[in-house]
């Protein structure tokens, strides 16, 4: 407790930041097509995620001893570096993974239902990814599991340019809490053997009852 009788729930505050930073990187940073069979792509990128969430502050009257709980909303930005790997395991199926430092990682894949990587036009590739993280703060620890359901889609206008829009849903289990995240990503992919990507995402997280804004850039090598 501070001298003016105000006490912030510090552990909850810290855990919120760690959990958000560790399991809430919703970047796509890949074009909508699957990788050709046998081909591999390595990517390096950076993201910045902005959250707004509620923090409780307890004020105690030193004369009466009565406590009052006040709620305020705070904004917090989390930068991260991303490393990604994509590999074509069949003609229309790829496996991929992404790690963002210093926190978490996901692994999954996608299947190209509509489109042809050698032609222009519309592309649709549903995907599924799983993420895991264990967070420890002092004597307290929390495991976070995320099940990601992105729908990779976009339009390729030439061999070296594509626009992608990726709706996504995430089911998050943090300790004993169950949360849902919904929203999407809009981005561009420029280049062929070396590809540059830039994107922005807008989602909503029910665990913290807050919108999430994320921007990302990356370069990928095939």
| CATH topology (fold) of 6-221 | Lipocalin (2.40.128)
What φ, ψ does residue 2 adopt, rounded to 5°? -85, 175
Entry pTM: 0.81
With tokens 């809430």, the residue in question is 24
Closest-CA residue to 206 (of 24, 13, 18): 24
Output the pLDDT for position 152. Answer: 97
Output the pLDDT for position 16. Answer: 54
Q: Which two tokens stand for residue 61?
A: 């009257």
- What are the domain boundaries of the chain? 6-221
| pLDDT profile of the chain (222 residues), mean per 10 | 45 51 74 96 93 69 73 76 96 94 86 92 96 68 83 95 96 81 96 96 84 94 94
Output the pLDDT for position 51. Answer: 76
Category of 183 on φ-ψ map: left (φ > 0), alpha (ψ -120 to 50) or beta: left
């Amino acid at each position: 407790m501070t001298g003016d009788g105000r006490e912030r729930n510090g552990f909850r505050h810290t855990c919120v930041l760690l959990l958000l930073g560790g399991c809430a990187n919703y970047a796509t940073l890949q074009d909508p097509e699957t990788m050709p069979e046998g081909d591999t792509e390595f990517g390096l990128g950076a993201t910045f995620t902005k959250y707004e969430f509620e923090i409780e502050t307890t004020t105690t009257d030193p004369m009466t001893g009565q406590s009052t709980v006040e709620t305020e909303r705070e904004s917090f930005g989390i930068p991260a570096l991303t490393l990604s790997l994509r590999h074509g395991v069949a003609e229309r199926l790829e496996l991929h993974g992404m790690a963002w430092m210093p926190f978490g990682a996901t692994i999954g894949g996608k299947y190209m239902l509509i489109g042809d990587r050698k032609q222009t036009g519309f592309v649709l590739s549903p995907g599924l990814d799983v993420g895991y993280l264990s967070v420890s703060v002092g004597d307290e620890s929390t495991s976070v599991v995320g099940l990601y359901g992105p729908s990779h889609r976009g339009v390729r206008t030439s061999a070296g340019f594509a626009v992608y829009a990726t709706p996504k849903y995430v089911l998050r289990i943090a300790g004993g809490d169950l949360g849902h995240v919904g929203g999407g990503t809009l981005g561009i992919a420029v280049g062929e053997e070396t590809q540059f990507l830039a994107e922005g995402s807008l989602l909503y997280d029910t665990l913290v009852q807050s919108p999430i804004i994320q921007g990302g850039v990356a370069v990928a090598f095939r």
